[in-house]
């Protein structure tokens, strides 16, 4: 049983799924020894039943399980980490980030909450870039950097080499934000080309209307990026996609609804 003690990570004396069978064997031995001591036996069984009954709600769902763990062990860094993941999966990213921040305060050398915070900021930043909110997106990427840097520098780092590579990529994007914007611009252009091809093949009126709206959105985002990068020009009517080294967004594309 000693090999399954888990004081450090889970902050509990034993991990129940591993010790169930050994404990069952111990209970059988104790029951056989106390079979002639009915009062003592009944008292022990009653106490165990009460303890088990009071503990059952802990297993209703993952959130209750880790909250129970945290109530018993307020400095359980892994509990904060898992609660953050659960909240995030439930659609409460703010609550998840609060839990991860608490985890970093309880144990600054536990790398997972730092990395999770970094991932949250990076994901938000990339989503904002994809939706045309470029300045806010870059600010979120900058906010992700110190958390990822701390995760890499923790005494125990689960994926140091992988996270170092991610840190270098993030640093490159922050130092040269135009590269991130160029990448997003290329993604939008590729998307617009695929939409144009799909529109040519489609015969459904509603599908064509939806495609036109998507093309218009792509055009607007490419224009916004072009204003920052200085590599987009708008021309009347239609024309080739590149002129004089600049991407061309035509008024015909913008007007599509």
pLDDT score, position 165: 92
- What's the whole-number mean pLDDT along residues 123-151? 87
Token pair in block for residue 33: 């020894």
Confidence check: pLDDT of 12 > 60: no
pLDDT band at 23 (very low <50, low <70, confident <90, very high): confident
Closest by Cα among 231, 252, 253 to 242: 231
Percent of the chain with pLDDT over 70: 81
Confidence check: pLDDT of 5 > 70: no
pLDDT score, position 175: 86
pLDDT band at 17 (very low <50, low <70, confident <90, very high): low
pLDDT score, position 29: 86
Which 3-state string (H, E, C) describes the chain?
A: CHHHCECCCCCECCCHHHHHHHHHHHHHHHHHHCCCCHHHHHHHHHHHHHHHHHHHHHHCCHHHHHHHHHHHCCCCHHHHHHHHHHHHHCCCHHHHHHHHHHHHHHCCCEHHHHHHHHHHHHHHHHHHHHCCCHHHHHHHHHHHHHHHHHHHHCCECCCHHHHHHHHHHHHHHHHCHHHHHHHHHHHHHHHHHHHHHHHHHCCCHHHHHHHHHHHHHHHHHHHHHHHHHCCEEEECCCCCCEECCEEEEEHHHHHCC
pLDDT score, position 18: 64
pLDDT band at 184 (very low <50, low <70, confident <90, very high): confident
Confidence check: pLDDT of 249 > 80: no
- What's the whole-number mean pLDDT along residues 72-90? 88
Percent of the chain with pLDDT over 90: 24
Confidence check: pLDDT of 149 > 90: yes
Q: Which of 107-116, 124-133, 213-222, 225-234 has the highest mean pLDDT?
A: 107-116
Bridge partner list, 6: 12
Decide which of 193 and 23 is more confident: 193
pLDDT score, position 67: 84
pLDDT score, position 15: 55
pTM exceeding the 0.75 threshold for the entire prediction: no
Cβ atoms within 10 Å of 146's Cβ, excluding its own:
13
């Amino acid at each position: 049983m000693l090999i399954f003690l888990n004081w450090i990570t889970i902050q509990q004396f034993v991990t129940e799924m591993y010790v169930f069978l050994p404990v069952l064997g111990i209970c059988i031995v104790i029951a056989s020894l106390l079979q002639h001591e009915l009062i003592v036996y009944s008292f022990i069984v009653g106490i165990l039943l009460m303890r088990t009954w009071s503990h059952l709600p802990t297993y209703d769902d993952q959130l209750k399980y880790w909250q129970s763990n945290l109530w018993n062990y307020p400095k359980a860094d892994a509990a904060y980490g898992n609660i953050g993941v659960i909240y995030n999966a439930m659609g409460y990213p703010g609550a998840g980030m609060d839990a991860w921040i608490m985890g970093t305060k309880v144990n600054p050398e536990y790398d997972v909450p730092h990395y999770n915070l970094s991932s949250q900021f990076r994901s938000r930043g990339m989503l904002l870039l994809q939706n045309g909110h470029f300045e806010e997106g870059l600010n979120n990427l900058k906010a992700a950097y110190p958390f990822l840097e701390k995760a890499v520098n923790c005494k125990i780092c689960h994926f140091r080499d992988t996270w170092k590579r991610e840190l270098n990529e993030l640093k490159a994007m922050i130092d040269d934000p135009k590269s991130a914007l160029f990448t997003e611009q290329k993604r939008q252009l590729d998307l617009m080309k695929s939409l144009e091809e799909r529109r040519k093949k489609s015969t459904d009126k509603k599908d064509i209307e939806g495609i036109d709206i998507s093309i218009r959105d792509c055009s607007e985002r490419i224009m916004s990026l072009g204003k920052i990068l200085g590599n987009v020009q708008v021309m009347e009517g239609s024309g080739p996609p590149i002129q004089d080294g600049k991407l061309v967004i035509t008024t015909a594309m913008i007007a599509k609804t």
